[in-house]
Structure 1
Amino acid sequence: MSNPLRLVLFDVDGTLVDSQGSIVSAMTASFSALSLDAPSRDAILSIVGLSLPQAMQNLAPQQSVANQTRLVDEYKQAYHAQRLAQGAASSPLYPGARDVLEELHAQPETLLGVATGKSQRGLDALVEAHGLERFFITRQVADHHPSKPHPSMIQAALSETGVAEQHAVMIGDTRFDMDMAAAAGIASIGVSWGYHDVSALNSATAVIEDFAQLSPALAQLWDK
């Protein structure tokens, strides 16, 4: 009997790429544009994974909705300018990321996807910059869904691919990713190299310390 189709969904920032420098820089620029004190680096990294409107609500709760919207717009402009200036270097792939994508993509029963707080434009630009177009059969972005940890992104990915919940897994670095997976009824694998402390990944099915551990972790998951 052939193996069932499986879906491996990846978060992007803090999981596949290290974009913290660009995120912190763009967020600092957005607050400076409104003559506001920028949040600390730790505060900024704590909201990575959320949609930008939700992130600004968390970082600037005392600001009006109009100012929060301006912060979002200023962030987008600053981040876009950095991406144009630096290209792929603004968000380099983590060591081993491309190798594991190649390995999983070569498995006929394994489908790959993305569930990210990035915008469609931001994700498309990153995918193109790193030459990842052929890997992801489904790409779920913040433009079309409620912010993580709402399960909408995963639900849409499952619907698009026809994969059952028990054959899907979410890979991510934040508690938002793990909580989103739990809300959608799928397994999750946390990564220790991202922007949330490992202690925040307590709802993960498993936690890995480098990409070399992902395939064995998936094998153990599928064998259950």
Structure 2
Amino acid sequence: MTEPRLVIFDVDGTLVDSQRDILAAMAAAFAAEGLAVPPRERVLSGVGLSLPETFLRLAGAQGQDVRARMIASYCAAYADLRQAHGAESSPFYPGARAALDRLAGEPFTLLAVATGKSRRGLDRLIEAHGLEGLFHSRQTADDHPSKPHPAMIRAALDETGVARARAVMVGDTRFDVEMARAAGIASIGVGWGYQPAAGLSADRIIHDWAGLAPALDELTETNS
């Protein structure tokens, strides 16, 4: 009998492309304090971190109280944009939903997410895209230290009972890869996200969703 395996997905930049609203909400947060908005590339390079870590990177020269206000402004702006745009606030990358459905149809494969989103943000995204019941574990920045700390992966493994050798993290940033490495599991980097694939140092790199299944099979067979 095949032992279960666990595929853990990052969300923003991996499954969905939320950069439009991330950038707009970030602009609103900086404008509220009369500060210049960092360049697009710098903002996107921190996607995946928790918001406190993100604003520490982007506005570290500001005091903690200022950064706390910026986080609140960002969250309010993002919530407004999400309400206005609905599911189009974070559209799936082409092929992502079909890939999830294929994996969910495998009796030995469990799915999870590990994201820098808040619990509320993840729940609303899942609701907007009709993903209820798809993920066996949902790990967010509300409950754990920021990536690349391995707490989210460890919690997903504990929750599902899957061995580390049968688990793989799929993400678009070095934070995802470093988190996987710290947790002792394999990683797959995607080539369409917010950080260049060449710098991810993942165990495997894929450039389209068709490459996911063979990469998963190879990594979980190698590690089993």
TM-score normalised by length of structure 1: 0.98
Q: Per the alignment, in what secondary structure is the counterpart of residue 128 of structure 1?
A: helix
In structure 1, distance between residues paired with 2:220 and 2:137: 21
Report the equivalent of 1:21: 20
Q: Name the amino acid aligned to 1:214.
A: L
Distance 1:179 1:42 in 2: 20
After superposing on structure 2, the runs of 4+ consecutive aligned residues of structure 1 that deviate more than 6 Å are none
| Cα drift, residue 179 of structure 1 | 0.2
Code of the residue aligned with 2:116 in structure 1: it is G
The residue aligned with 2:151 is: 152
Per the TM alignment, residue 92 of structure 1 is displaced from its structure 2 partner at its CA by 0.2
Q: 1:211 & 1:102 partners in 2: Cα distance?
A: 12
188, 208, 211: which one aligns with 1:210: 208
Q: Which residue of 1 aligns with 2:193?
A: 194
Cα distance in 2, alignment partners of residues 90 and 72 from structure 1: 19
CA-to-aligned-CA distance 1:169-214 (integer Å, 9 cap, x gap) = 0000000000000000000000000000112211x11000011110
**1: distance between equivalents of 2:5 and 2:81?**
36
| Residue of structure 1 in register with 2:163 after alignment | 164
Give SS of 1:136's match: coil
Once the two structures are aligned, what percentage of the paired residues are identical? 58
Q: Which residue of 1 aligns with 2:132?
A: 133
Aligned equivalents of 1:87, 1:148: Cα separation in 2: 27
Per the alignment, in what secondary structure is the counterpart of residue 121 of structure 1? helix
1:223 deviation in Å? 2.2
Residue 43 of structure 1 is matched in structure 2 by 42
How far did 1:97 drift?
0.6
Q: Secondary structure at the match of 1:37?
A: coil
What is the Cα deviation at residue 90 of structure 1? 0.9
**Inter-partner Cα distance in structure 1 for 2:209 and 2:115:** 19
The gaps in structure 1 that reach 5 residues or longer are: none
Task: Assess if the C-alpha contact under 8 Å between 2:167 and 2:220 holds in 1.
Answer: no
Q: Is 1:122 matched up with 2:121? A: yes
How far apart in 2 are the matches of 1:186 and 1:168?
Answer: 6
- AA of the residue aligned to 1:64: G
Letter in 1 for 2:219: L
User: Helix, strand or coil: the match of 1:126?
Assistant: helix
2:53 maps to which residue? 54
What does residue 11 of structure 2 align with? 12
SS in 1 for 2:136: strand
Checking the alignment, whether the CA contact within 8 Å between 2:10 and 2:171 is kept in structure 1 is yes
- Superposition pairs for residues 64-103 of structure 1, below 5 Å? 64-103=63-102
1:112 to partner: Cα distance: 0.2
Structure 2, gaps ≥5 residues long: none
Aligned length: 222
What is the CA–CA distance in structure 2 between the aligned matches of 1:133 and 1:170, rounded to whole Å? 20
Q: So what's the TM-score if we normalise by structure 2?
A: 0.98
Distance 1:218 1:58 in 2: 33
